[in-house]
């Protein structure tokens, strides 16, 4: 049974934010907010109590790699799991995300089952670690 968690969905395309928000709702996570780039995401993360970040990579102003770096450099945010959901399919990008501390990586286009599986895996790992 999904826990009562607050998600932040970061993507410059409103369509994709809406799709991910609806999918999370179907999976059982109803509390979600949205940000259109890394800068807006950081502002929201620093002022709200979020438990999980789902982020795109290719965004204006601050991309997903830079956002990940900022999250991991912030003592209050670094424990937040960050799941990358992106069209970037180069192996070097996937490796960079993993080495930067991303908790998971989903390549677009993706399915509801993939999102459910990755979110579930990340939360299970987090519960086991704490």
Partner 1 sequence: MSADAAAPVMADGVFRQLGALTRQLHDTLRELGHAGSLQGSVGLLPDAKSRLEYIAQLTGQAADKVLGEVERAKGAQAQAGQALDWISQRMALHGSSLPPAFQSELHEFLAQVRQQQTAVDASLTEIMLAQDFHDLTGQVISRVVSMAAHLEAQLLSLLVAQAAAAGTAVDADAGGTQRDAASVAPQPAPSELQGPVIDRARSDVVTSQSQVDDLLASMGF
Pick from 26, 67, 63: nearest CA to 50: 67
Stretch that binds partner 1, among 1-9, 32-40, 42-50, 99-107 (CB under 8 A): 99-107
Q: Are 8 and 54 in contact (CB under 8 A)?
A: yes
User: What is d(CA 111, CA 105) in angstroms, rounded to the nearest whole number?
Assistant: 13
Q: Is 91 near partner 1 (CB under 8 A)?
A: yes
Q: Cβ of residue 57: shortest distance to partner 1, in angstroms? A: 6
Q: Cβ of residue 44: shortest distance to partner 1, in angstroms? A: 21
User: What is d(CA 130, CA 124) in angstroms, rounded to the nearest whole number?
Assistant: 10
Q: Which of 30, 58, 69, 126 binds partner 1 (CB under 8 A)?
A: 58
Looking at residue 89, what DSSP letter applies?
-
Residues that bind partner 1 (CB under 8 A): 11, 13-16, 18-19, 22-23, 26, 57-58, 63, 87-95, 98, 105-112, 114
């Amino acid at each position: 049974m999904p826990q009562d968690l607050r998600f932040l969905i970061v993507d410059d395309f409103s369509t994709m934010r809406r799709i991910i928000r609806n999918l999370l709702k179907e999976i059982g996570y109803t509390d979600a907010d949205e940000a259109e780039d890394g800068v807006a995401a950081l502002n929201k993360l620093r002022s709200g109590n979020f438990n999980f970040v789902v982020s795109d990579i290719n965004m204006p102003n601050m991309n997903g790699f830079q956002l990940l770096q900022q999250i991991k450099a912030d003592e209050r945010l670094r424990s937040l799991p960050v799941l990358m959901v992106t069209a970037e399919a180069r192996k070097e990008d996937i490796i960079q995300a993993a080495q930067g501390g991303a908790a998971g990586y989903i390549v677009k286009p993706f399915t509801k089952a993939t999102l459910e599986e990755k979110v579930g895996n990340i939360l299970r790992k987090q519960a086991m670690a704490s």
